[in-house]
C-alpha cells in the first residue's frame, strides 16, 4: 500500500503521525468524524505529496483495495451492475476558498446505469449523469486554460464553456445513456465504458490539473468517498440540522429531513424531531459531542440509506444569534468543558447589542418595500406608527391607550432636542435626518433602550417623509431595523420582532461571569430616573456616572414651571418658581439614590442652554401663556413673551450661556438643585440608607469657576452661595450628622484639560465629557459633521467617526488632564461619561490612561463590562 494513501472510517482513524496539512481541509474534517467514532462514510485520501503526481500503474491496485474496503462497509460494490456503489472525489485544498468544481457520481457508466436507475428512477439517474459531466467539463476547461491559449485550444475552450451552459439545467431532457453519448467526445476516450476505467481517467485528469496549477504548491489532497442517497429505498431520507436552536440557543436539534429525497430541492421537509427515536438519539449524541469538541454550534448534513445513518459533513454556523452562542458557552462552562475565562473571551463585546434589543424575525419582512442606508444611532428593531412631532406622538399615544389600540409609535423628525426626550422615551424608536451616532436623538435613544436611525437622505415635508423610492405619511406603520453590524433598513409596514429576555437569554448569568474578572476599573451608567437606575443595576452597573438633571424638567407638570422661572424678571420671581420645582427634584433624587444604595451617584447640575426649554412652536407657546395667566391670575401679552424668548436667543448656544455659566448668572437655579439633592440625602440617611452623592459642575473652563460654585464668594457687598454653603445650612436646620459627598467637574473643554492641575484643587473628581471635548478639540459639531464627513473619509483626512472612537488628540488631552490633576490631588477619581465609554476600542485606553471607570447608557453597560473583563484577561495573560 502506498504510504501516501490513507483510509478512514467510523473505526479507522488516520494516524496522528501523519501531518494533517497533507490531508487538506476536507480531509481533516472527515478524519475528525472518524476520531469521534461517528458514522462517517468510509473513504481514502491521496495526500498532497502524491495527488499532483499520480501514476496510474502504481496506484491502480491500491485504489481497488480501498474501494473494496469501502464496499464492505456500505454494502454496495463499485462497478456492480445491480446495486452500484458510486463515489465522489473531493479536491481537498488547504485554502478556505477553492476554485475546484464539485465532483460526484463516479461509477455511473453504461453497465451500471440500469441497476442505479432501478433504485432511484430514470430521471434522477439521468440528472446524476449530468452532474458528473458538468464537473468533468469544468476540469477539462481549467486544464485547457492552464495550457495556454493557441487558436486551436481557444476553439476547444469555447466549446467546453458552451457545453457548460448547455447542461446548467438540473432537468435532463434525455435519458442517462443518451447524455453519455452526447458528451463522451469531450471527455477522455472510453469514459463511460467501465467504472474502474472512469475513476482512473478522472484521477489522472485531476492530477494533471493540480500539476499545472501555479497556486497549488503540493498542498492539495484528493478524497474519495462512496455516495449515499436519501431516495435509495423506502427507509431512506436526507436532512440537515443545527446542534441547537440558532436563535434562542435552546439545546434542541433544529432542522429538517426529507423522506425518500436526495436533498431538500423541491422537497417538503419534516421537523428533525420526527425522524424516529433511534436516529434522533444518535443525531443528538453526534450534535452535542461536536459542540463539546469545537465549542460552538455546528451544522450537520446526513443521509439515511436503507435504514443506515451516514454523516455527510459538519461545519460551523455563520448565521446564529448572540443569545444562542451565550447559552452554548454557559452550558459548556457548567459542564467544565470550558472555563469562565474562555466564556468571556469568546464573545465580541459589540455583539451584545443584539441580545439587548429586539431583532427582526427575518421571514416577516418578505415582500415589504424598503430603503437601506443611513447611520446607526442605537441598535435594535422597532415597529410603530410614524409621527412627526413630539406633541402629535404623545397625543396619538394617549388616544391609543384610552381605546386599547396599538400604542407603538416612531418619532420622525429632522432632529430632536431636549423637549423631545419625553416622546423618545415612550416611542419604540426615532428616525431623524440630521446628525449621526452622537446626535441628540441617538444619545437619548441609547439611554432609553430605543432604536435610532439617522437617515440624511430623508426628506420631510409637513406630515410626509420620503426615503429613496419609499414614502410614508403620519399614522403609517414603519419598521426600522438597525443591526449592530451591517446596513440599516426602513420597511413600509409591520414586520415581526423577537423580543429580548435577559433572564432567558443567559445575559444576566453571562454578566455575572464577566464581572468576576473585573478588579479595580468599573462601569457606571447614565441614568435619570429610578427605573433607569434599577435597569442599570440589573445589567451590572457599579453606580451612576452621569445623571443629566436638565432632562428632569421636561415632564408635562414641570416644563411650564421651568419656563416661568427662565422668563422671570427678578431673582425673587425665579425663586418662587424654583420652590415649586424643588420637591419634584427632591423626589427624583430620592428614588435614584435609594435604587443605587451603597453606590456612587454622580449628579450633573443643569447643563443645557436655557433656550432649549422655551416653546418651539405656536401650540407650546399658547399652552405656556395659558399656564402663566392661570399662575399669575392676570392677562399675559403674547408679544411680550415672544420678545422675552427672542432676547435669550444665541448664535452658538452650545458654546454660550450654559452649564456653570448659567449658575454664575442665576445662582438660585443650582442652589435649588443642590438643596433638593441634600434634602433627599438626609431623608434617606434617616431611613438608614447608604447614600453616596457626587455633585458635578459642567462646562468649567478654569479653577475660578469651580471654586465659586463649590465654595461661594463675597465681593463688594454681594455674596454667592456655593454648594458647600447650601449643604451646611440644610444640615444645621435638620440637626443631622454630615453625610460624605464629593464635588467635581466635567472636563469637556481643552482649557479645562490643560488647567486640570489647578481645577483639581477644588474638584475631588473629574468626569470627561468626551462628546463636547471632541467638539471643542476638533472644532466639529456632532450634529452637523455628517454633511462633510464622507468627503473627509474619502480622502483619508480623518479616520473613523470621532464621536464613536476617541480621536488621538482627545486621548492626549484626557491623559494629560489625569496626570496634571493627580499631581495636585493624588486620590483624584476620574471617569469618562458618554457613549465613547461603551466602545470597546476606547475602554482599553481609559484603563491604560489611569481612569477609574467609564459611564454609558444602561443598555451599553454589559458591552463596556465585557470590554473591561477582556482587557483584564489580556493583561493577566501578558503578565504571565
User: What is the number of other CB atoms lying within 10 angstroms of the CB of residue 731?
Assistant: 16
Separation CA 327–CA 351 (nearest Å): 14
Catalytic residue chosen out of the listed positions 833, 836, 846, 856: 833
Task: Give DSSP secondary structure letters for 226-281.
Answer: E---TTSSTT-EEEEEESS-TTT--SS-EEEEEET-SSSTT---EEGGGS-HHHHH
Q: In 440-479, where does DSSP find H-type helix?
A: 440-448
Largest Cα–Cα distance in the chain? 116
> Strands, E, within 577-681: which ranges?
600-604
Separation CA 759–CA 744 (nearest Å): 9
User: What is the number of other CB atoms lying within 10 angstroms of the CB of residue 71?
Assistant: 17
Residues 636-662 as b/e (b if ≥16 CB within 10 A, e otherwise) read beeeebeeebeeeeeeeeeeeebbbbb
Catalytic residue chosen out of the listed positions 440, 551, 611, 836: 440
Under a CB-based contact definition with an 8 Å cutoff, are residues 843 and 864 in contact? yes
> Three-state DSSP class for 829?
strand
Separation CA 312–CA 207 (nearest Å): 24
**What is the 3-class SS of 362-380, one letter each residue?**
HHHHCCCCEEECCEEEECE
650 is in an annotated binding site: no
548 is in an annotated binding site: yes
Among 436, 376, 548, smallest CA distance to 780 is for 436
Among 557, 551, 575, 573, smallest CA distance to 671 is for 575
Separation CA 226–CA 305 (nearest Å): 12
748 is in an annotated binding site: yes
**Could you tell me which residues are beta bridge partners of residue 254?**
242
604 is in an annotated binding site: yes
Among 150, 45, 48, smallest CA distance to 88 is for 45
Number of DSSP helices (H) and strands (E) in the chain, helices first: 32, 33
User: What is the number of other CB atoms lying within 10 angstroms of the CB of residue 424?
Assistant: 25
Task: Return the ∠ at Cα 308 (arms to 303 and 311), rounded to 5°.
Answer: 40
Among 111, 66, 104, smallest CA distance to 84 is for 111
Grid coordinates of 861: 453597560
Q: In 481-570, where does DSSP find H-type helix?
A: 502-505, 507-515, 530-538, 559-566
Among 787, 839, 847, 789, smallest CA distance to 815 is for 847
433 is known as an active-site residue = no
Grid coordinates of 574: 425665579
842 is in an annotated binding site: no
Under a CB-based contact definition with an 8 Å cutoff, are residues 834 and 770 in contact? yes
Identify the DSSP state of 84. Answer: B
833 is known as an active-site residue = yes
291 is in an annotated binding site: no
Contacts 24+ apart (CB under 8 A), 684-690: 684/590, 684/593, 684/594, 684/597, 685/736, 685/737, 685/739, 686/736, 689/593, 689/594, 689/597, 690/597, 690/598
Residues recognised as catalytic: 440, 833
Residues contributing to the annotated binding site for substrate: 548, 604, 748, 769-772
Residues contributing to the annotated binding site: 548, 604, 748, 769-772
Amino acid at each position: 500500500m502506498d504510504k501516501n494513501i490513507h483510509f478512514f472510517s467510523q473505526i479507522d482513524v488516520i494516524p496522528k503521525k501523519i501531518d494533517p496539512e497533507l490531508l487538506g481541509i476536507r480531509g481533516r474534517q472527515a478524519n475528525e468524524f472518524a476520531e469521534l467514532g461517528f458514522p462517517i462514510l468510509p473513504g481514502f485520501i491521496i495526500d498532497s505529496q502524491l495527488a499532483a503526481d499520480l501514476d496510474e500503474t502504481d496506484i491502480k491496485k491500491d485504489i481497488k483495495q480501498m474501494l473494496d474496503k469501502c464496499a464492505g462497509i456500505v454494502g454496495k460494490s463499485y462497478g456492480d451492475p445491480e446495486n452500484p456503489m458510486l463515489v465522489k472525489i473531493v479536491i481537498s485544498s488547504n485554502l478556505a476558498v477553492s476554485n475546484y468544481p464539485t465532483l460526484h457520481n463516479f461509477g455511473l457508466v453504461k453497465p451500471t446505469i440500469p441497476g442505479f436507475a432501478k433504485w432511484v428512477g430514470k430521471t434522477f439517474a439521468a440528472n446524476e449523469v449530468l452532474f458528473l459531466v458538468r464537473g468533468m467539463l469544468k476540469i477539462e476547461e481549467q486544464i485547457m486554460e492552464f495550457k495556454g491559449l493557441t487558436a486551436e485550444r481557444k476553439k476547444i475552450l469555447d466549446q467546453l464553456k458552451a457545453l457548460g451552459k448547455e447542461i446548467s439545467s438540473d432537468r435532463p431532457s434525455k435519458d442517462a445513456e443518451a447524455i453519455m453519448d452526447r458528451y463522451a467526445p469531450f471527455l477522455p476516450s472510453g469514459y463511460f465504458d467501465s467504472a474502474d476505467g472512469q475513476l482512473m481517467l478522472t484521477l489522472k485528469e485531476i492530477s494533471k490539473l493540480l500539476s499545472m496549477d501555479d497556486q497549488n504548491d503540493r498542498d492539495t489532497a484528493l478524497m474519495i468517498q462512496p455516495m449515499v442517497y436519501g431516495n435509495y429505498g423506502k427507509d431512506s431520507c436526507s436532512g440537515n440540522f443545527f446542534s441547537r436552536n440558532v436563535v434562542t440557543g435552546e439545546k434542541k436539534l433544529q432542522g429538517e429531513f426529507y423522506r425518500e429525497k436526495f436533498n431538500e430541492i423541491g422537497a417538503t421537509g419534516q421537523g428533525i424531531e420526527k425522524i424516529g427515536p433511534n436516529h434522533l438519539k444518535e443525531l443528538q449524541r453526534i450534535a452535542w459531542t461536536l459542540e463539546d469538541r469545537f465549542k460552538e454550534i455546528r451544522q450537520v448534513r446526513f443521509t439515511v440509506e436503507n435504514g443506515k445513518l451516514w454523516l455527510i459533513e459538519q461545519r460551523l454556523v455563520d448565521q446564529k444569534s448572540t443569545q444562542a452562542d451565550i447559552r452554548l458557552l454557559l452550558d459548556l462552562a457548567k459542564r467544565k468543558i470550558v472555563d469562565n475565562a474562555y466564556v468571556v473571551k469568546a464573545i465580541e463585546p459589540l455583539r451584545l447589542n443584539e441580545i439587548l434589543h429586539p431583532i427582526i424575525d427575518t421571514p416577516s419582512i418578505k415582500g415589504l418595500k424598503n430603503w437601506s442606508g443611513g447611520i446607526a444611532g442605537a441598535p435594535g428593531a422597532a415597529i410603530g406608527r410614524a409621527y412627526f412631532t413630539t406633541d402629535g406622538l404623545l397625543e396619538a399615544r394617549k388616544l391609543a391607550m384610552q381605546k386599547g389600540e396599538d400604542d407603538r409609535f416612531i418619532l420622525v423628525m429632522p432632529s430632536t432636542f431636549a423637549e423631545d426626550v419625553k416622546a423618545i422615551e415612550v416611542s419604540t424608536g426615532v428616525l431623524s435626518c440630521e446628525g449621526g451616532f452622537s446626535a441628540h436623538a441617538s444619545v437619548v435613544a441609547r439611554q432609553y433602550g430605543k432604536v435610532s436611525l439617522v437617515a440624511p437622505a430623508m426628506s420631510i415635508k409637513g406630515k410626509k417623509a420620503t426615503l429613496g423610492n419609499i414614502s410614508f405619511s403620519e399614522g403609517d406603520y414603519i419598521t426600522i431595523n438597525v443591526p449592530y453590524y451591517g446596513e440599516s433598513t426602513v420597511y413600509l409596514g409591520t414586520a415581526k420582532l423577537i423580543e429580548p429576555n435577559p433572564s432567558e437569554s443567559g445575559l444576566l448569568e453571562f454578566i455575572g461571569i464577566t464581572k468576576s474578572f473585573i478588579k479595580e476599573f468599573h462601569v457606571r451608567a447614565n441614568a435619570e430616573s429610578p427605573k433607569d437606575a434599577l435597569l442599570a443595576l440589573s445589567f451590572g452597573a457599579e453606580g451612576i456616572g452621569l445623571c443629566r438633571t436638565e432632562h428632569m424638567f421636561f415632564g408635562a407638570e414641570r416644563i411650564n414651571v421651568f419656563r416661568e422661572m427662565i422668563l422671570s424678571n427678578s431673582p425673587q420671581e425665579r425663586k418662587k418658581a424654583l420652590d415649586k420645582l424643588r420637591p419634584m427634584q427632591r423626589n427624583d433624587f430620592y428614588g435614584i439614590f435609594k435604587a443605587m444604595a451603597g453606590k456612587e451617584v454622580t449628579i450633573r447640575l443643569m447643563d443645557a442652554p436655557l433656550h432649549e426649554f422655551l416653546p418651539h412652536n405656536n401650540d407650546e407657546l399658547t399652552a405656556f401663556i395659558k399656564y402663566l395667566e392661570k399662575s399669575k391670575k392676570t392677562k399675559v401679552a403674547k408679544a411680550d413673551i415672544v420678545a422675552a424668548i427672542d432676547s435669550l436667543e444665541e448664535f452658538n448656544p452650545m458654546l454660550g450661556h450654559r452649564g456653570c455659566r448659567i449658575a454664575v448668572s442665576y445662582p438660585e437655579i443650582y442652589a435649588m438643585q443642590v438643596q433638593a439633592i441634600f434634602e433627599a440625602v438626609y431623608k434617606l440617611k434617616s431611613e438608614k440608607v447608604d447614600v453616596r452623592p457626587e455633585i458635578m459642575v459642567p462646562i468649567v473652563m478654569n479653577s475660578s469657576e469651580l471654586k465659586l460654585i463649590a465654595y461661594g464668594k463675597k465681593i463688594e457687598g454681594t455674596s454667592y452661595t456655593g454648594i458647600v454653603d447650601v449643604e451646611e445650612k440644610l444640615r444645621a436646620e435638620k440637626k443631622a450628622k454630615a453625610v460624605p459627598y464629593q464635588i467635581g467637574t466635567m472636563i469637556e473643554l481643552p482649557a479645562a484639560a490643560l488647567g486640570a492641575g489647578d481645577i483639581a484643587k477644588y474638584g475631588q473628581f473629574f468626569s470627561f465629557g468626551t462628546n463636547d471635548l471632541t467638539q471643542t478639540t476638533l472644532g466639529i459639531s456632532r450634529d452637523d459633521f455628517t454633511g462633510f464627513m464622507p468627503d473627509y473619509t474619502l480622502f483619508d483626512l480623518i479616520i473613523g467617526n470621532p464621536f464613536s472612537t476617541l480621536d488621538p488628540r482627545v486621548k492626549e488631552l484626557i491623559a494629560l488632564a489625569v496626570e496634571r490633576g493627580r499631581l495636585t490631588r493624588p486620590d483624584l477619581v476620574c471617569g469618562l461619561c458618554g457613549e465613547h465609554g461603551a466602545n470597546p476600542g476606547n475602554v482599553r485606553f481609559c484603563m491604560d490612561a489611569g481612569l477609574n471607570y467609564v459611564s454609558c447608557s444602561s443598555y451599553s453597560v454589559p458591552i463596556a463590562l465585557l470590554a473591561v473583563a477582556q482587557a483584564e484577561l489580556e493583561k493577566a495573560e501578558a503578565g504571565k
